[in-house]
Amino acid sequence: MIVRDANGNVLKDGDSVTLIKDLKVKGSPSPLKMGTKVKNIRIVDGDHNIDCKIDGFGAMSLKSEFVKKS
């Protein structure tokens, strides 16, 4: 499976990415801010194709269309 970021770059396990827009998080009063850097991602199958841990939020699943490779 090939997963691409918002700019068309191929993502793979262990890459670092940056959020390109504010994302609302269910159950959290504050959103994830644009520019938040996420390290050591894992590519998974499904609706959300990135699993990661974000400092201050914990484990998250993200869609690749909202991130860019850094």
pLDDT at 18: 97
pLDDT at 54: 92
Distance CA 26, CA 66 (A): 16
Superfamily classification of domain 3-69? SH3 Domains (2.30.30.40)
Distance CA 62, CA 19 (A): 10
Number of DSSP helices (H) and strands (E) in the chain, helices first: 0, 8
What's the DSSP call for residue 9? Answer: P
pLDDT tens per residue across span 10-68: 999 999 999 999 999 988 899 999 999 999 999 999 899 999 999 888 999 999 999 99
Of 50, 53, 47, 45, residue with least CA distance to 68? 50
